[in-house]
Amino acid sequence: MSSFVHTTVLLEETVTALCPRDGGRYIDCTLGGAGHSERLLQRSEPGGQLLALDQDETALRHAEDKLRPYGDRVQLVHANFRRIREVVRELEFGPVDGVMFDLGVSSPQFDEADRGFSYRFDAPLDMRMDQTQPTTARDMVNGLDEAELIRIFTRYGEEKFSKSIARRIVHRRAVAPIETTGELAELIKEAIPAPARRTGPHPARRVFQALRIAVNDELGALEEALDGAFEVLKPGGRLAVITFHSLEDRIVKHQFQQWARGCTCPPDFPVCQCGNVPQATIVTRKPIVPSAAEEIENPRSRSAKLRVVEKR
């Protein structure tokens, strides 16, 4: 097992957006390399409390060592962030002053070949963020019918060659199961016309993203987690979310707009009949993105967007 090395994205911007203070309570729903968690603890000294969740046991083991100096100011929990309500209730940690999400896959998950996230290494098809869950990418690639594979590649990867890729997979697995990331990446390349392979990112990128999202039910978990996070916030508390692709960002942007929306009556109604009032104020009218310097230092930060909302 290699060491858990992860460069934190939008570190100061995210922590500052949560307005950490002495005595505040904060939740990091995506512990990862613990960069955001550590800075939240530093900025809320001496009495700030932190609850940190992660479904990756490797990340938790790393963070336990990194955050040990903060003692009982921090609690680490092995859980998918969709369970935020339940965890907060069990630990009697709410209501809280701030919640943050740093979505997507951490660098160690990409860089450790045996996790099966990357087309850069030939490894068993896995892609589970929580390795205690039963379903792997191998199970999906070899078990789902052609129509479902097309749906996943189109919806989660926005892959325009979904049909030809799914057809190639089904034909190949009829001969023998597809076992590794290398096999799958080669199949994808074979299914995409040569002109399309010559430009842009690696031809397997979109399908690998789609499978990862499907294996971990990332979008369903995000929708549940946003509702849970907003529920456990106290009035005046803030929710900060870093996204890395348009599917996530669309969900976050839409949910923030829903919370911030007031009256939904037709504009020609002289008096409001719906009674709806805004539940939140959007802090970031436009998302915060990494600086040019951060993009140079950490190329994986280029697609990051930070959105922040404050509960009324």
Domain contains 69: yes
Report the alpha-carbon distance of residue 288 to residue 152 in Å, rounded. Answer: 29
Q: Are residues 70 and 120 in the same domain?
A: no
Q: Are residues 76 and 96 in the same domain?
A: yes
237-292 confidence digits (pLDDT tens) = 999 999 999 999 999 999 999 999 988 888 888 888 888 899 999 999 999 999 99
- Domain holding 212: CATH number? 1.10.150.170
Tell me the three state secondary structure of residue 99: strand
The residue among 81, 104, 119 whose CA lies nearest residue 8 is 104
Measured between alpha carbons, how far apart are the two ends of the chain, in Å? 45
Domain contains 3: no
Report the sign of the C-alpha dihedral through residues 89, 92, 94, 99, in that order. Answer: negative
Task: Provide mean pLDDT across the span 1-5.
Answer: 50
- Residue 148, token pair as written in the block: 């479902």
| Residue 278 near residue 204, CB atoms below 8 Å | no
150-204 confidence digits (pLDDT tens) = 999 999 999 999 999 999 999 999 999 999 999 999 999 999 999 888 887 889 9
Q: Are residues 259 and 302 in the same domain?
A: yes
What pTM was computed for the model?
0.90
Q: Are residues 143 and 261 in the same domain?
A: no
Q: Of 216, 239, 261, which residue is a domain's last?
A: 216
Task: Provide mean pLDDT across the span 80-106.
Answer: 94
Q: Structural domain of residue 101, as residue ranges?
A: 11-108+218-311
Q: Is the pLDDT of residue 2 over 60?
A: no
Q: Are residues 93 and 239 in the same domain?
A: yes
Q: Of 165, 183, 216, which residue is a domain's last?
A: 216
Domain contains 131: yes
Average pLDDT, the chain: 93
Cα distances from 36 to residues 42, 43, 272, in angstroms, run 10, 10, 42
Percent of the chain at pLDDT exceeding 70: 95
Q: Give the angle subtended at the CA of 7 by the CAs of 94 and 311, to the nearest 5°.
A: 30
Domain contains 6: no
Q: Are residues 84 and 227 in the same domain?
A: yes
Element (H, E) at 62: helix 57-66
Strands, DSSP E only, in 18-119?
25-28, 49-54, 74-78, 96-102
Report the alpha-carbon distance of residue 147 to residue 170 in Å, rounded. Answer: 10
Domain contains 241: yes
211-247 confidence digits (pLDDT tens) = 999 999 999 999 999 999 999 999 999 999 999 999 9
Q: Are residues 155 and 119 in the same domain?
A: yes
Q: How confident is the model at residue 136 (pLDDT cuts 50, 70, 90)?
A: very high
| Residue 129 near residue 116, CB atoms below 8 Å | no
Q: Are residues 102 and 125 in the same domain?
A: no
Domain contains 155: yes
- Residue 278, token pair as written in the block: 């805004």
Q: Of 185, 216, 247, which residue is a domain's last?
A: 216
Report the alpha-carbon distance of residue 47 to residue 31 in Å, rounded. Answer: 20
| Amino acid (1-letter code) at residue 28 | D
Q: Are residues 249 and 211 in the same domain?
A: no
- Domain holding 254: CATH number? 3.40.50.150
Percent of the chain at pLDDT exceeding 90: 81
Cα distances from 175 to residues 148, 168, 170, 172, 226, in angstroms, run 20, 11, 9, 6, 43
Residue with tokens 């790393």: 62
Report the domain count for the chain.
2
Q: Are residues 138 and 89 in the same domain?
A: no
Domain contains 81: yes
Report the alpha-carbon distance of residue 290 to residue 252 in Å, rounded. Answer: 18
Q: How confident is the model at residue 4 (pLDDT cuts 50, 70, 90)?
A: low
| Residue 65 near residue 36, CB atoms below 8 Å | no
What pLDDT does residue 1 have? 39
Count CB-CB contacts under 10 A for residue 21: 14
| Sheet with 280-282, edge to edge strand ranges | 74-78, 49-54, 25-28, 96-102, 233-243, 305-311, 280-282
